[in-house]
């Protein structure tokens, strides 16, 4: 059998039924949305359409190569569109597609959760990092 997790199945039931993990919609979508550059790019495009150079300036630490890959991935998944204007030289603008706009509410919820819980997560990391290694599983 192949396909995503049918509604109502638990993860273990899904595995027992032999469903293909690579076809899982959650896994496939989170591979794209969960990337830090994708989240930042979506957030930047949520405000308004932007040119490549503007995106590169406002997203901290992203390389041109990574921004290009991120934008291509968003286009491939139908979350962003690329518009070429017939100027000399041609200008290119990126904007969220209607589908891309639908990801903003859940992404915004995740961003809000992360901001609210980051101090506690940092404390947990510090406690964990201070513990001696156990050397096993």
* CATH code at position 68: 1.10.10.10
In this predicted structure, what is the pLDDT of residue 136?
55
Q: Does residue 1 lie within any of the structural domains? A: no
Beta-carbon contacts of residue 97 (< 8 Å; ≥ 6 apart): 78, 79, 80, 81
Separation of alpha carbons 25 and 91, rounded Å: 35
Q: Does residue 28 lie within any of the structural domains? A: yes
pLDDT digits (tens, 9 = 90+) for 58-116: 998 999 999 999 999 999 999 999 999 999 988 999 999 999 999 999 999 998 999 99
In this predicted structure, what is the pLDDT of residue 6?
59
Percent of the chain with pLDDT over 90: 64
Torsion sign over Cα 15, 20, 24, 29: positive
Q: Above 50 in pLDDT, residue 2? A: no
Q: Does residue 18 lie within any of the structural domains? A: no
Which stretch, 5-9, 27-31, 81-85, has highest mean pLDDT? 81-85
Rounded to two decimals, the pTM is 0.77
Q: Over the chain, what is the mean pLDDT?
A: 88
* Average of per-residue pLDDT across 17-30: 78
Query: How many domains, in total, are found in the chain?
Result: 1
Domain extent, residue 91, equals 23-130
Q: Does residue 117 lie within any of the structural domains? A: yes
Pick the closest to residue 97 from 114, 69, 78 (CA basis).
78
Q: Does residue 13 lie within any of the structural domains? A: no
CA atoms within 13 A on the CB side of 50: 19
Pick the closest to residue 50 from 24, 83, 26 (CA basis).
83
List residues bridging with 51 in a β-sheet.
93
């Amino acid at each position: 059998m192949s396909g995503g997790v049918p509604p109502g199945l638990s993860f273990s039931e899904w595995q027992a039924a032999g469903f293909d993990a690579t076809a899982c919609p959650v896994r496939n979508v989170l591979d794209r949305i969960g990337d830090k550059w994708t989240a930042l790019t979506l957030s930047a495009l949520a405000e308004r359409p932007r040119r490549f150079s503007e995106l590169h300036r406002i997203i901290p630490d992203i390389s041109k190569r990574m921004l290009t890959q991120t934008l291509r991935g968003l286009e491939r998944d139908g979350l962003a569109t690329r518009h070429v204007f017939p100027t000399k030289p041609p200008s290119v603008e990126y904007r969220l597609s209607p589908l891309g706009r639908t990801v903003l509410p859940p992404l915004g919820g995740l961003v809000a959760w992360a901001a609210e819980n980051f101090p506690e997560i940092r404390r947990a990391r510090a406690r964990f990092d201070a513990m001696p290694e156990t050397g096993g599983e």
